[in-house]
Amino acid sequence: MIEEIPLSRPEINEDDQRAVMQVLRSGRLSIGPMIEQFESEFAELVGRRHAIGCSSGTAGLHMALLAHGIGPGDEVITTPFSFIASSNCIVYVGATPVFVDIEPKSLNMDPDLIEAAITPRTKAILAVEVFGSPAHMATYRAIADRHDLKLIEDSCEGLGGRWRDRAIGSFGHSAVFGFYPNKQITTGEGGMVVTNDDRVADVCRALRNQGRAPSGTAGNAGNWLHHELIGFNYRMSEINAALGLSQIRRLDAIIERRQQVASRYIERLMGNPELLVPTVEPETLMSWFVFVVRLRSGYSSVERDRILDGMRRHDVGCSAYFPCIHLQPCYRERFGTHEGSFPIAESASQRTIALPFYTDMSPRDTDFAAQTLELMITRETFSRE
Ligand SMILES: Cc1ncc(COP(=O)(O)O)c(C=O)c1O
């Protein structure tokens, strides 16, 4: 029997297991040395003054927007081609997401469309490194600075990537990372806000801990029940932080091994005329989050979905990354958004196929996934004729 090739899976080694066990044995499961060490090494890696660990990327985005003072009546420019959390955080704070279409090569927001979307109510640009690509981040920052807006970088998919000499997470006034198990490194669930702004960092530290001032720790009973802000429980436990710390210490090796998987797919699929295979600009160090190909224009979403079904029937995990956010039922209902508004994003989204991709993926499984994709495409084109 062929074993299923999953779409994604985390790599947990013995060091990771030892690190987690050590925390369990210590009895200190929250607010302790692991989160402090993880934050300190993370800040250094991304080259920012502060790193604030939290319970998820979504929680980090929520706090970052609040800390930058974004709220009801404000508009935030963002991409419709992303995981839904990058827009939901704007809705959480009572602001309005203003979508602009994407640029078809990198699939990131089209920088040429941003200025036309700025109004007197615009407070920020929330930019996403889609699938890990840092394309246009420096341009977004220049636009934000020119118009006195904040740039919030949703770096949940890009840990370890670089553009020229700049790390992903260093372009925005603040940036947010996520550590769900399909990410480059995982903490199980977890996130990290990074910033050079002392005040934003203080507010995020308070918000994640029920609005307590940063000195309000469990060991400080006088401050533990004193709440300066309406906050949340968005803390990251010591167990999660220990796992993240252990993983981040081998990030370079993880990026390198993911690059090998991506290179094998590229080599194998590049010549297929039915496919657009991702390319990486020379100035980019890509930290691959997922490996997403696109069917060439002319394929419908029904045909793409049939190809996905066929791959799944052959035990190859795959997915349609991403359905457009503005076409999700909850956005249509709340904002009246509809088809035809962002043609580039909509067209890309109908033709994408995320292939199985993870750090310890074997060359054999990579070849099998690529071969199955090609077979399903051939079958689909035959059934057309
Ligand atoms: C672009 C983007 N933003 C936000 C998130 C949310 O992160 P989390 O799942 O940790 O809440 C994700 C996670 O998949 C993401 O890909």
Q: Which of 58, 186, 232, 321 to mutate to test the pocket of ligand 1 (most atoms within 8 A of CB)?
A: 58
CB-neighbour burial class of residue 181 (10 A; exposed 0-12, middle 13-18, buried 19+): middle
* Helix (H/G/I), strand (E/B), else coil: 302: helix
* Helix (H/G/I), strand (E/B), else coil: 52: strand
Q: Which residues contact 276 (CB under 8 A, 6 or more apart)?
A: 293, 294, 295, 296
> Residue 53: CB within 6 Å of ligand 1?
no
HEC secondary structure over 262-276: HHHHHHHHCCCCCEE
Atom of ligand 1 nearest to the CA of 179: 10
Give the Å distance between the CA of 382 and the centre of ligand 1: 38
Cα separation, 290 vs 312, whole angstroms: 17
CA-only gyration radius of the chain, Å: 21
What domains lie within the chain, and their CATH numbers? 14-248 (3.40.640.10), 251-384 (3.90.1150.10)
pLDDT of residue 218: 59
The sign one gets for the Cα dihedral 345, 347, 350, 356 is negative
pLDDT of residue 383: 84
> Residue 83: CB within 6 Å of ligand 1?
yes
Cα separation, 116 vs 95, whole angstroms: 19
DSSP run (H or E) holding 153: strand 150-154
pLDDT of residue 224: 86
Give the Å distance between the CA of 343 and the centre of ligand 1: 24
What is the C-alpha end-to-end distance of the chain, expressed in Å?
Answer: 33
Cα separation, 108 vs 95, whole angstroms: 22
Atom of ligand 1 nearest to the CA of 189: 10
Contact 176, 153 (CB under 8 A): yes
pLDDT of residue 310: 97
pLDDT of residue 307: 98
| Whole-structure pTM value | 0.97
* Neighbour-count burial for 259-279, b at 16+ CB within 10 Å, e otherwise: eebbebbbebbeebebbbbbe
Tell me the catalytic residues: 183
User: Any alpha helices (H) in the chain, and if so which ranges?
Assistant: 14-26, 33-46, 57-67, 85-92, 114-117, 137-146, 198-208, 221-224, 238-248, 251-269, 301-313, 329-335, 343-351, 363-384
Peptide linkage before 382 cis (omega within 30 of 0): no
Give the Å distance between the CA of 298 and the centre of ligand 1: 30
Amino acid at site 66: L
Contact 235, 30 (CB under 8 A): yes
Q: Which of 156, 179, 357 to mutate to test the pocket of ligand 1 (most atoms within 8 A of CB)?
A: 156
Give the Å distance between the CA of 263 and the centre of ligand 1: 25
> Residue 58: CB within 6 Å of ligand 1?
yes
> Residue 180: CB within 6 Å of ligand 1?
yes
Atom of ligand 1 nearest to the CA of 82: 1
pLDDT of residue 41: 98
Give the Å distance between the CA of 59 and the centre of ligand 1: 9
Furthest C-alpha separation in the chain: 76
Give the residue among 182, 180, 169, 191 at the shortest CA–CA distance from 45: 169
* Per-residue pLDDT tens listing for the chain (385 residues): 457 999 999 999 999 999 999 999 999 999 999 999 999 999 999 999 999 999 999 999 999 999 999 999 999 999 999 999 999 999 999 999 999 999 999 999 999 999 999 999 999 999 999 999 999 999 999 999 999 999 999 999 999 999 999 999 999 999 999 999 999 999 999 999 999 999 999 999 999 999 998 765 655 656 888 999 999 999 999 999 999 999 999 999 999 999 999 999 999 999 999 999 999 999 999 999 999 999 999 999 999 999 999 999 999 999 999 999 999 999 999 999 999 999 999 999 999 999 999 999 999 999 999 999 999 999 999 887 6
> Residue 56: CB within 6 Å of ligand 1?
yes
Cα separation, 159 vs 194, whole angstroms: 12
Backbone angles phi, psi at 294, to 5 degrees: -120, 140
Read out DSSP for 16-35?
A: HHHHHHHHHHHT--SSSHHH
pLDDT of residue 3: 74
Cα separation, 78 vs 327, whole angstroms: 15
Give the Å distance between the CA of 78 and the centre of ligand 1: 15
> Residue 187: CB within 6 Å of ligand 1?
no
pLDDT of residue 380: 94
Two tokens, residue 275: 């496919």
pLDDT of residue 223: 80
pLDDT of residue 343: 97
> Residue 289: CB within 6 Å of ligand 1?
no
Q: How far is CA 169 from CA 132, 196, 307, in A?
A: 11, 11, 35
Atom of ligand 1 nearest to the CA of 289: 16
